[in-house]
Amino acid sequence: MSEVSIVVRLDVMLAMRKMKSRDLAHAVGITEQNISLLKSGKVKGIRFETLAGICAVLECQPGDLLEAVPDADPA
Amino acid sequence: MSNLEHVRKLAGVLRGITIAAMVVLPLVIVGGLAALPLTPDVLSVDITPSLDATRTQLILAAGLSLLRPLILLWTLNEMRKLFGAYIAGDVLTDHAARLIQRIGQGFVAMAVVPFLLRPVQSVLLTMANPPGQRSLAVGLDSEMIFFALSGGLIIVIGWAMREASAAAAENRAIV
């Protein structure tokens, strides 16, 4: 079974909605730093509560924010 | 009041007591050494020292007796660091957990060192006796057992806190 990584496409959705990270953070109720970490993919996970909040604000589905990308073959 | 506030408040009080103990303990030891003449009677060893014991043997036995207060001072210093970390809100971290383990190790040493020193001191203090009257004392008292068990418990709690700190670190990485 090939390995996959979850990539966060939050920056794409923010650009499509023409929304700033600061406004999203304020609307969802999390810190701007956490939004930044999410965008850069430097997080181990995302709570359903946070995901639901982002989806509600950006009017999208979780699948629009998260994408499973196959890992590059080390060989 | 939240748990963290309780921890900070009590840690502040305990840090003050710990620092006071760290100041008083050396003063008492130095004062005791300066005030009392170095005779076999003043050495707190549960054996009758030889009246012919040389001054070197007495100084060596007294010096070995200082190991325990030194370990106590080291343990108190680790406790001071831990309380300082708690005051700063550094509770569920690997640093705090390692400090807890060091305190436990200090407690275990407080049990093991006297157990090992007693035979050495008894030989030192009775070496001047004629053959047949020299002694090798081995002893285990309730205080040693208490320190060994408490130390073991604290070390186990330290390991558990390291697990908790790892879980907390992982939780911090989830937004």
Distance in angstroms (rounded) separating the CA atoms of residues B15 and B83: 6
The total domain count for chain A is 1
Quote the distance between the C-alpha of residue B53 and its chain's center.
Answer: 29
Is A13 a member of any domain? yes
pLDDT at A2: 72
pLDDT, greater one: B46 or B175 = B175
Q: Is B174 on the interface with A (CB under 8 A)?
A: yes
Please, what sign has the CA dihedral across residues B73, B75, B78, B80? negative
- A38 in Cβ contact with A62 (< 8 Å): no
pLDDT digits (tens, 9 = 90+) for B74-106: 999 999 999 999 999 999 999 999 999 999 999
Q: Could you say which residues from 8 to 37 on chain A have a Cβ atom under 8 Å away from some Cβ of chain B?
A: 30, 34, 37
**B122: its two tokens:** 């008894």
CA distance A46 to chain B (A): 5
A37 located within any domain: yes
Which residues in chain A touch residue B175, judged by CB atoms under 8 angstroms apart?
Answer: 30, 34, 37-38, 43, 45-47, 50
Point out which residues pair with A5 in neighbouring strands: A69
Q: Decide if A75 is inside a domain.
A: no
Q: Kindly state the average pLDDT of the residues B143-152.
A: 96
Residues of B in contact with A43 (CB under 8 A): 173-175
* Residue A32 confidence (pLDDT): 93
Residue A54's pLDDT band (cuts 50, 70, 90)? very high
Query: Are the beta carbons of A38 and B170 separated by less than 8 Å?
Result: no
CA pseudo-torsion sign A34, A36, A42, A43: positive
CA distance B111 to B101: 16
**In Å, how far from its chain's centre is CA A73?**
24
Report pLDDT for B138: 87
The answer to whether position A64 is within a domain reads yes
> Which residues of chain B make contact with A37, given a CB cutoff of 8 A?
175
Interchain contact B170–A (C-beta under 8 A): yes
Q: What is the separation of C-alpha A61 from the centre of its chain, rounded to a whole number of angstroms?
A: 11
- Report B:63-102 residues touching A (Cβ under 8 A): none
Residue A45, domain CATH: 1.10.260.40
Task: Report yes or no: A38 at the B interface, CB cutoff 8 Å.
Answer: yes
**Confidence at residue A22, expressed as pLDDT on a 0 to 100 scale:** 94
Residue B128 DSSP one-character state: T
Is the ipTM of this structure higher than 0.95? no
Chain B residues touching residue A50 (CB < 8 angstroms)? 175
Find the domain containing A17 and state its range.
4-70
**Residue B166 or residue A75, greater confidence:** B166
